[in-house]
Amino acid sequence: MANDNGFGFETRAIHAGASPDPATGARTTPIYQTTAYAFDDAEHAASLFNLQSFGFIYSRLTNPTVAVLEERIASLEGGRGAVCTASGHAAQMLAFFSFMEPGASFLAGNRLYGGSITQFGRTFQKFGWQAQFVDQSDPENFARAITDSTRAIFVESLANPGGVITDLEKVARIADAAGILFIVDNTMATPYLCRPIDWGAHVVVHSTTKFLGGHGNSMGGALVDSGRFDWSKSPKYATLNAPEPAYHGLRFHETFGDLALTMHGHAVGLRDLGACMAPMNAFLTITGIETLPLRMERHVRNAEAIARYLSTHPAVASVSYAGLEDSPYHALAQRYLPKGAGSVFTFALKGGYDAGVKFVEGLELFSHLANIGDTRSLVIHPASTTHRQLTEAQQIAAGAGPDIVRLSIGLETVDDLIADLGQALERG
């Protein structure tokens, strides 16, 4: 399916990037479980290593199974190209690696997945990359925080765990006015509910481990390049507009144009960081994406019903779900996620930290584990797990205070899920 621009989302979720295997006629994308690929001759090998022709060299750089997944995700997000990685964190590392250098900084919304806050605020410091966390409830806060060293703005379209929705279009305008990159983590929303590139994002990242794979059986990440950022307009982005010594002075933006970031991600990012996706995980994620539209419809429908149930329960202090009319993010949800506000949300228990721990231990159908986006319904108490490494003030700022419980609503019969939640709440 070489040209998929005229097809609907559901069709592209099944066909984009794939065609019958030319060697065997296999209709399902094969798992190319190989480390390397034979060259036609010495000239062919040289042209591949010089980036003068496209092809497969070594599976740390490119792999046919992974390539199908990359094309499919890029198509669904409306991007120019994609690079798949070993995890969502690896995708974030690859994205920033392409343009950051010691002393450079970026802005990030303060309502992020706890692991991202730690990665940005602590680990990135070891590379000399500085992250400044900004209250994203007012997009103008980003404009006020931009300095000469700022290279990018990073937000989640639908924040994990609190379900906060960022005004993407306003932030995109601020990034464009400053001439800096706008990166959006779209893991929670998926391209079925929201396409950040349509609202001005330059780069989209995913943990494919979550909804794209959808079955809790494969790790992975993806970096999607919109192809719309002008890497040559500023010396801040020398990695992509200056001569690359490892490729005889080749300039990625000059040579590859709107595929510059995609090519750099493979030729330099995966080459040197090594965080490539395993072919088996790519195969499982391709299979998962084929049912993404159907799954997201059920995820959202179940989540809305459960959020309404919890909002009236006497043991619940509040529910943070943008699909509810009283949510401060409801208007933004209708604008950016018209098909639904996702299926991951939080609620606060009146009994605080102890009540949260007791509640998750009392559930029977929900699985208590650190993941989201599974066909199964999942639960976690962030303050004692995913956000444990943060201070209480940081937990509260991230929407993961001591009284908060996060739910990832799956595809089960909704009445069974409500019954399980009810009995656990009654135990409290």
- Say yes or no to pLDDT of 6 above 90: no
Kindly report, residue by residue over 183-231, the tens digit of the pLDDT. 999 999 999 999 999 999 999 999 999 999 999 999 999 999 999 999 9
Tokens of 9: 């989302």
- Cα distance between residue 199 and residue 70, in whole Å: 21
- Cα distance between residue 301 and residue 252, in whole Å: 44
Contact between 359 and 383 (Cβ < 8 Å) = no
Mean pLDDT calculated for residue range 305-329: 97
Helix (H, G, I), strand (E, B) or coil at 188: coil
- Say yes or no to pLDDT of 331 above 80: yes
Mean pLDDT calculated for residue range 78-90: 98
Helix (H, G, I), strand (E, B) or coil at 397: helix
Kindly report, residue by residue over 17-46, the tens digit of the pLDDT. 999 998 899 999 999 999 999 999 999 999
Q: Which residues contact 270 (CB under 8 A, 6 or more apart)?
A: 60, 61, 83, 85, 94, 276
Helix (H, G, I), strand (E, B) or coil at 145: helix
H or E element at residue 348: strand 344-349
Give residue 1's pLDDT.
53
- Cα distance between residue 63 and residue 17, in whole Å: 13
Tell me which CATH code domain 9-288 carries: 3.40.640.10
Residue ranges matching CATH 3.90.1150.10 in the chain: 294-427
Start-to-end Cα distance in the chain: 54
What superfamily does domain 294-427 belong to in CATH?
Aspartate Aminotransferase, domain 1 (3.90.1150.10)
Query: What is the CA 185 to chain-centroid distance, rounded?
Result: 4
152/354: higher pLDDT: 152
Kindly report, residue by residue over 244-284, the tens digit of the pLDDT. 999 999 999 999 999 999 999 999 999 999 999 999 999 99
Adjacent-strand bridge partners of 59: none
Residue ranges matching CATH 3.40.640.10 in the chain: 9-288
Q: Which pLDDT band holds residue 3 (cuts at 50, 70, 90)?
A: very low
- Cα distance between residue 374 and residue 66, in whole Å: 21
pTM listed for this prediction: 0.95
- Cα distance between residue 20 and residue 108, in whole Å: 42
